[in-house]
Structure 1
């Protein structure tokens, strides 16, 4: 087992993974799908007690598979708290303070605002707890509070559709790593069959991990990263991603991202279930878009053009690297702890140029245990290159 599970305060299945293999990700997603509960509910059916979401008076769903009970207690994740803050217009910093210091006040605030518009409808995304025979219902997890027009595009379905699109593209690829957080799924795909030389970009660079030289392995592979959020933290996207072979640093080109947003029409009240036709059409579109994106992002011409763009700025020598990194991190709102890590990676990389700053940002991203933070930092690598190259 390669993934590192995130700690949970509940008895539902672990939902986090970092640098997992594809098979591990699939297993986690399959388990999540068995526990998912999505319901459109009026505010009058929601109450906060002891900081938890209580669902009361929502009709159970009866199908051939049995009865899906909705009423119960659900512990909010940090993402769910953000949704509650947004939908009820309670300042997030204040909500977090109440949760940390005064939970009865949190209950009072949330319930007061829910009572202002009792007929207002939301989508509650949750995981059911394990219900042992003869025991009271176990607490579940409130994953997100969303608009009742949120369109479900779940990770497992998106993953299978995307991999089908990759297959249809005809390019030889491999999945090099997967992350799963309460916010997003990330799947990194690489094609070593599409690799280009980048001698100018990697001249004088050493891997901060094992000291290997970029002069001896000056190759960059084509790739991309698939992301999706089930909880309103972003669209389904495919973002081109170049991989520096000597150190495995990833460079995401966010300005060329392909996306599909989670917006749909108002949905009926009750437990949410896609119709087969709607689901099929959506997934067919994802497969088609993915195939088109792969053909573009895994073309040698595309990768060579991006390398040339980077090389134009990367060669600038830095007279005062520490001041440049201070400028870059301040400009890009990178925190002090990450800034110190970037400086250490820059020194170990040995490349005293703007390109060295870019490499330090991406190698630092590899070391972060929080996958969302890692992805956000990696996305700043090219802006960091530009900021370093233009710094006086």
Structure 2
């Protein structure tokens, strides 16, 4: 793969540069199953018209190597277990080819008299293939095999639309962190001008990242070095652990270009001392990627079509930003959470084990949350929530980290 497609805890400029580079390499094709064939663990396209754009003439026919995210979409469309398909592609490409080709092209038998009998019919569907063009004669990248009704909202377009919504809302914000993977984009925003004291939510809380081992774990998943240095220097913001119990109004937004999620915006409370984000998933706005059936061939959206989609997203972002980054909204959320925050946790290990089972944590996640809980020295329900959101910053997979953040306040509410 010739493009950098993943980054964790990146700064805004780094993310923007990556998205612009990726956009220049994108090709989107709607093709019938008959135009696809697996070969050597890759997917070969044939019979597709070349793309003519600002980059010149690009031949679309050729080999495309699937990403892990693409493996999941191929498996879903063909009814194959994703783990099995991924194993075949990496370890037994001959079996990958046989399975994929058999399901796409069916099976027939020619009799002695020359008649052909169909044993298993070929797949009659067309698919949207999201691709990165190859470079210097190398194979391209298959990003996803999707329905031809998939409504595309690209990451760069979403980022632009949300920023436009923020501008329309006349809100002062900082983009504090961005993540990008083969399957999704996540951006976190907060307003440094909308803050609230939360003495119960942060009572006695100490920054767990003052522990060098925990800070090293966070650094290990930070692939943007400049951002990593900024995170490491976060202790110099004038906060003493527990002395200024302040939270800020914020929100985060995410998108998937390859069908593994929807456009999502959701509010959060940002604890800047440790960069914890307590999300409020019940208030999230989601827009599922579903559009009209697309015609075959390479796809080039008209500017009018793109503008209509982005105008809707910008308007939603504007309205939600005005609500979520308001002092009144922040005050209501803090008041509600502070009612639950002080419940004591007298047996941390048992509490984390029970909550972990209830919320579907792995054993490694339960152990990580417990270490962060002990390091923060806040023996309350709020301490459990903070432990989850600080631990999530050390998780390499941004999508899983986001899910953990969504579970933090639910965990706090379960402590009795």
Asked if structure 2 preserves the Cα contact closer than 8 Å seen for 1:202 and 1:215, the reply is yes
Match of 2:331 among 300, 304, 308: 304
* 2:319 partner SS: helix
1:64 CA drift (Å):
6.5
* 1:201 partner SS: coil
1:82 CA drift (Å):
0.6
Match of 2:342 among 315, 319, 322: 315
1 CA distance for matches of 2:364 and 2:319? 39
* 1:129 partner SS: coil
* 1:199 partner SS: coil
2 CA distance for matches of 1:85 and 1:268? 23
Q: Rg bigger for which structure?
A: 2
2 CA distance for matches of 1:374 and 1:184? 12
1:269 CA drift (Å):
0.2
**1:180-219 matches, cutoff 5 A:** 180-210=180-210, 213-219=240-246
**1:75-224 matches, cutoff 5 A:** 75-116=65-106, 117-131=122-136, 137-210=137-210, 213-224=240-251
Calculate the aligned-residue CA RMSD, in Å.
1.5
Q: TM-score, normalised by structure 2?
A: 0.87
2 CA distance for matches of 1:321 and 1:17? 33
What is aligned with 1:295? 322
Gaps of 5+ in 2: 107-121, 212-238
2 CA distance for matches of 1:315 and 1:140? 54
What is aligned with 2:253? 226
What is aligned with 1:6? none
2 CA distance for matches of 1:213 and 1:327? 32
2:4 is equivalent to residue 28 of structure 1 = no
What is aligned with 1:5? none
What is aligned with 2:405? 378
1 CA distance for matches of 2:283 and 2:241? 26
In the alignment of these two chains, the number of paired residues is 374
2 CA distance for matches of 1:64 and 1:179? 29
Asked if structure 1 preserves the Cα contact closer than 8 Å seen for 2:103 and 2:123, the reply is no
Higher relative contact order (CA 8 A, sep 6+): 2
* 1:281 partner SS: helix
Deviations 1:194-239 (A, max 9, x none): 0000001111111101276553110000000111110001111111
Asked if structure 2 preserves the Cα contact closer than 8 Å seen for 1:205 and 1:213, the reply is no
1 CA distance for matches of 2:358 and 2:240? 30
